Amino acid sequence: MNRQIIHFDIDAFFASVEQLDHPEYRGKPLIVGGDSDRSVVSTCSYEARAYGVHSAMSIVVAKKLCPNGIYVYGNMQRYSDISSQIFDLIESEFDTVQRVSIDEAYIDVTGLENPIEIAKRIKKEVNELTGLTISVGISYNKFLAKLASDWNKPNGIFEIVPSQIPDLLRPLPIIKIHGLGKKSCEKLNRIGIFTIDDLYSYPSELLNDILGEAWAKEIIDRIHGIDDRPVKEYAERKSYGRETTLEEDSDDRELLYAILYKYLVKIQHRLDEKSLMPRTLTIKIKYHDFEQFTKSHSLEYNTNDFNILEATLINMFEGLNLEKPVRLIGLSFSNLEDADYKQFNILEGLGAYSTSMHK
């Protein structure tokens, strides 16, 4: 079965956050990076891109291109907080999420619902949570998913399916090949290779001289739609969860509990494989009118004991007052702790306890 991979990337990230925080910057060419002549552009709003300004350009050059732009220093802490909020949201819904930078990640959604629907949903959720827009690409491998997220930026969705390869890629400039740096592209330009189509017809042995054998093979594979790299989970992720939009809105508690129970089984198994123990369970409900809420319960200690988690879920669900038909239901586990580390802690704790008993 083909994999289904989503790549998302926040639009003009630092600049969009500044425009959120400062309404007076909205709709204007905004350049983040500083005001001094020694500064470099971190990023800029799409309004500034129309003037030719881009990341990594010196501020001096940017000011020549866009003298009326607004030039600001960035606030890394703020960007990092928003980035965490978004990744936490995504990780509370999907099993396999790989963060690749402050504003982009891959999600393996193989076997889940229609990926276009997932893409639309996460765009909406991210926007509701933060006010930012993201662009989402969908395809059967990471290389193409990333290419797809770049296709309709900003605020885009694009899917690349197997039958479109290789024709869709032919006209693209080689700089679009993720993995080919600016220097390699310049070298290739010098020997007359400008588009992916040029690369298709170039003898691969000659490419080896320019890119090195291993990398040349990798690049050739990628532009032929071959890329087996797995989506690798972020090692320090904060939560695991699942959720679903029901086919029909429902207030049938038995049905709703059955879904949560199914998720409990899956997530508990997944955490067990990873030797992780959660402390907090969160049920998420969205009513038919899109009003939503979450209900969390934190245990006194971390555990991945199925019976304890099940009992907790039952308790939480019994106390859940559902006022309207439900559209979406989800379950996530957070406050994760490494089981091996925990065992060590318990031993330490017992030591302390027995000491106090002997007093």
Closest to ligand TTP by CB, 137 vs 241, is: 137
Number of Cα atoms under 13 Å in the Cβ half of residue 226: 6
At which residue do the structure tokens 């298709």 appear?
200
Query: In this structure, how many other beta carbons lie within 10 angstroms of the beta carbon of residue 299?
Result: 16
| 148-187 positions binding ligand TTP, by CB under 6 A | 153-154
The partner in contact with residue 60, picked from ligand TTP, Mg ion, none with C-beta cut-offs of 5 to 8 angstroms by kind, is none
- As a whole number of angstroms, the distance between CA 115 and CA 148 comes to 13
Q: Which of 235, 243, 221 is nearest to 142 (CA)?
A: 221
Are 2 and 96 within 8 A, CB to CB?
no
If one asks whether residue 10 binds ligand TTP (CB under 6 A), the answer comes out as yes
3-state DSSP of 321-344: CCCCCEEEEEEEEECCEEHHHHHH
Between 26 and 55, how does the x/- string for binding to ligand TTP read (CB under 6 A)? ----------------xx-----------x
**Does 103 sit near ligand TTP (CB under 6 A)?**
yes
DSSP secondary structure string, 1-29?
----EEEEEETTHHHHHHHHH-GGGTTS-
Q: Which of the residues 18, 47, 93, 104 is marked catalytic?
A: 104
Shortest Cβ 176–ligand TTP spacing (Å)? 13
Residue 102 interacts with, from ligand TTP, Mg ion, none (CB under 5-8 Å by kind)? ligand TTP
Q: Scanning residues 1 to 40, which ones bind Mg ion (CB under 5 A)?
A: 9-10, 13
Which residue, 12 or 256, has its beta carbon nearer to ligand TTP? 12
**Rounded to the nearest 5 degrees, what angle is found at the Cα of 272, between the Cα atoms of 271 and 276?**
55
153 binds, among ligand TTP, Mg ion, none (CB under 5 to 8 A by kind): ligand TTP
Residue 304: exposed, middle, or buried by beta-carbon count in 10 A (0-12, 13-18, 19+)? Answer: buried
Does the annotation count 104 as an active-site position? yes
Number of residues that bind Mg ion (CB under 5 A): 4
Quote the Cα angle for 19-22-27, to 5°. Answer: 45
Per-residue binding string, Mg ion, 86-125, x by CB under 5 A, is -----------------x----------------------
Q: How far is the CB of 248 from ligand TTP (least distance, A)?
A: 37
DSSP string, 135-176: EEEEESSHHHHHHHHTTT-SS-EEE--GGGTTTTTTTSBGGG
Residues 11-30, interacting with ligand TTP (CB under 6 A)? 11-14
* Residue 100 C-beta: closest distance to Mg ion, Å: 11
Residues that bind ligand TTP (CB under 6 A): 9-14, 42-43, 55-56, 102-103, 153-154
Q: Known catalytic residues?
A: 104
Residues that bind Mg ion (CB under 5 A): 9-10, 13, 103
